[in-house]
């Protein structure tokens, strides 16, 4: 949106205050992107990375971490990311956890900054848009490898913007981008989808303009046939480059099998439709409502390719929680442009504001400083503790670090085949690396014949009648279970099981001889 000139009217004076405001916004962003190490899947990513590095970057053929599916041919989408995490964790020694926090925070911040850079507006508006977007994204931030795919999407959109501006040479960055992306995270398929969508929409737009089906004055570039041809060639090369990974085209097969697993999609929250229940849903609903108001009030551009892309990604975000952050990144440039348009409109309609730019900026700076102060140092203290002394930090969380310590000193009193809750699997692989677990976040779509571990897990944890036969089927002889759950209550009162440890978080049971 070409609002840079108008928007900068209120920022041409009082540069010192603007710089201070920008610094406060950056501090706010840092506060948002740095999150404690609470992601359940971090543990198995880190364990896999440490083992890959220890074995000379040789990947296992089958699952080395569970006793329930040891014969499953495991395809790890994020194998290179796992290795990078391990190098950071090992290389920084006692500060390894801090290194992981900074890594994921840096990836998130870079993704949002790269996407905001597409908007051709002053920096302050881009930073303000980032703060609002990251605040909505808070439930999805932290030590999540998905952030690397969000960075990939942001880079891809930036490349596309350069191509639209006539910088054809940027098209050749697509093959190396997708090559790296395919080895860093399985979300590279979103990049291929998005690029195919943009290219197809641009092709249709070019055809409509040439045949004069489109009579309105367009506010986005129309690519020439030669530009479209180069984009198609580069996209084909990029798709071929994604096959350069340890699994070849088998990576696509595994991703397809996972994304078409109906039971997983219907059971896991991240694949369920967005609802307004809970803070995350209400925050996203507020974001969409504000965006709609801004569009209705200040958006007057004709951009068919952008319209379709935004609407399609919006639909995907409403269909699956997992795609909420995707829409936040894709819509970020528009939000920054609209904020600048609002400011320019206010200055035009209220000349008094132009004369009192400095007081207005002081009010905005004071409000930002107050909001940042409201965040407090407590959050950053939690972040530091989780990185510097994770075991002590986990005492404040629902993770069973106390039970882990007890297991370490009483391992001889327990069995050989562990049962653990789904959310504890990655944590246990991190803190009890010698144990083989029952299930973790890698395994919802794993199935060999009639052995389907995630469905068996759900049956075992039915509130009305836990199916204890599942434990017999997998030869489980001891378990670490969240206290108060239906399964914990049943096993605590079962004559074939004995409770050997309990605390406010979990119980540990073992099968009687």
One digit per residue, pLDDT tens: the chain, 513 residues? Answer: 454 444 444 444 578 888 888 888 998 899 999 999 999 999 999 999 999 999 999 999 999 999 999 999 999 999 999 999 999 999 999 999 999 999 999 999 999 999 999 999 999 999 999 999 999 999 999 999 999 999 999 999 999 999 999 898 999 999 999 999 999 999 999 999 999 999 999 999 998 888 777 666 788 888 999 999 999 999 999 999 999 999 999 999 999 999 999 999 999 999 999 998 889 999 999 999 999 999 999 998 888 999 999 999 999 999 999 999 999 999 999 999 999 999 888 877 777 666 566 676 777 777 777 777 777 678 888 999 999 999 999 999 999 999 999 999 999 999 999 999 999 999 999 999 999 999 999 999 999 988 899 999 999 998 888 899 999 999 999 999 999 999 999 999 999 999 999 999 999 999 997
CA atoms of 217 and 446, how far apart (whole Å): 52
CA atoms of 229 and 235, how far apart (whole Å): 10
Whole-number pLDDT of residue 21: 84
**Phi-psi category of residue 423: left, alpha or beta, with phi > 0 → left and psi -120 to 50 → alpha:** alpha
CA atoms of 464 and 245, how far apart (whole Å): 45
Whole-number pLDDT of residue 352: 65
Which two tokens mark 37? 């190490």
Which two tokens mark 12? 């041409």
CA atoms of 24 and 278, how far apart (whole Å): 29
| DSSP H or E segment with residue 128 | helix 123-137
Whole-number pLDDT of residue 250: 92
Of the candidates 159, 145, 143, 122, the residue with the CA atom closest to the CA atom of residue 361: 122
Inter-residue contact 136 to 287 (CB < 8 Å): yes
Which two tokens mark 407? 């297991």
Which two tokens mark 434? 């010698």
| DSSP H or E segment with residue 499 | strand 497-502
Report how far apart, in Å, the C-alpha atoms of 303 and of each of 157, 201, 311, 334 are.
15, 11, 12, 12
Which two tokens mark 406? 């007890």
Q: Is 343 exposed, middle or buried (0-12, 13-18, 19+ CB in 10 A)?
A: buried
Inter-residue contact 400 to 480 (CB < 8 Å): yes
């Amino acid at each position: 949106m070409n609002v840079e000139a108008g928007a900068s009217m209120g920022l041409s004076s009082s540069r010192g205050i603007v710089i201070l405001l920008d610094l406060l916004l950056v501090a706010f962003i840092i506060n948002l992107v740095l999150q404690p190490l609470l992601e359940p899947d971090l543990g198995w990513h880190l364990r896999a990375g440490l083992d890959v590095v220890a074995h000379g970057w040789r990947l296992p053929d089958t699952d080395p971490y569970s006793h329930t599916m040891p014969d499953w041919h495991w395809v790890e989408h994020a194998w290179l990311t796992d290795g990078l995490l391990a190098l950071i964790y090992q290389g920084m020694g006692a500060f390894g956890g801090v290194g992981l926090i900074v890594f994921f925070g840096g990836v998130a911040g870079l993704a949002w900054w790269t996407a905001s850079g597409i908007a051709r507006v002053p920096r302050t508006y881009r930073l303000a848009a980032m703060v609002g977007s990251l605040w909505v994204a808070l439930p999805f931030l932290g030590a999540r490898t998905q952030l690397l795919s969000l960075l990939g999407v942001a880079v891809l959109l930036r490349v596309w913007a350069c191509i639209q501006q006539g910088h054809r040479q940027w098209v050749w960055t697509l093959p190396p981008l997708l090559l790296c992306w395919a080895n860093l995270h399985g979300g590279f398929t979103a990049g291929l989808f998005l690029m195919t969508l943009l290219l197809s929409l641009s092709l249709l737009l070019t055809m409509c303009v040439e045949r004069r089906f489109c009579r309105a004055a367009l506010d986005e570039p129309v690519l020439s046939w030669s530009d479209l041809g180069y984009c198609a060639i580069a996209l084909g090369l990029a798709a071929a480059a994604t096959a350069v990974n340890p699994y070849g085209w088998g990576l696509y097969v595994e991703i397809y099998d996972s994304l078409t697993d109906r039971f997983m999609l219907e059971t896991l929250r991240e694949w369920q439709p967005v609802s307004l229940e809970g803070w995350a849903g209400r925050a996203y609903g507020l974001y969409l409502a504000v965006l709609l108001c801004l569009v209705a009030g200040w958006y007057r551009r004709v951009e068919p390719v952008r319209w379709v892309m935004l609407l399609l990604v919006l639909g995907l975000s409403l269909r699956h929680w997992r795609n909420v952050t995707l829409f936040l990144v894709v819509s970020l440039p528009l939000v920054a442009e609209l904020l600048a348009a609002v400011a320019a409109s206010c200055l035009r309609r209220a000349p008094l504001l132009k004369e009192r730019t400095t007081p207005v900026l002081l009010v905005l700076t004071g409000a930002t400083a107050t909001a940042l102060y409201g965040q407090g140092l407590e959050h950053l203290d939690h972040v530091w503790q989780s990185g510097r002394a994770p075991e002590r930090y986990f005492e404040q969380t629902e993770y069973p670090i106390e039970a882990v310590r007890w297991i370490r000193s009483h391992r001889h009193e327990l069995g050989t085949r562990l049962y653990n809750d789904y959310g504890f699997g990655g944590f246990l692989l991190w803190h009890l690396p010698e144990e083989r677990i029952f299930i973790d976040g890698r395994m919802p779509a794993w199935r060999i014949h009639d052995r389907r571990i995630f469905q068996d897990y759900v049956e075992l944890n039915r509130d009305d009648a836990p199916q204890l036969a599942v434990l017999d089927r997998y030869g489980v002889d001891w378990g670490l279970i969240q206290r108060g759950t239906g399964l914990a209550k049943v096993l605590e009162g079962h004559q074939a099981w004995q409770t050997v440890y309990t605390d406010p978080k979990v119980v540990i049971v073992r099968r009687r001889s």
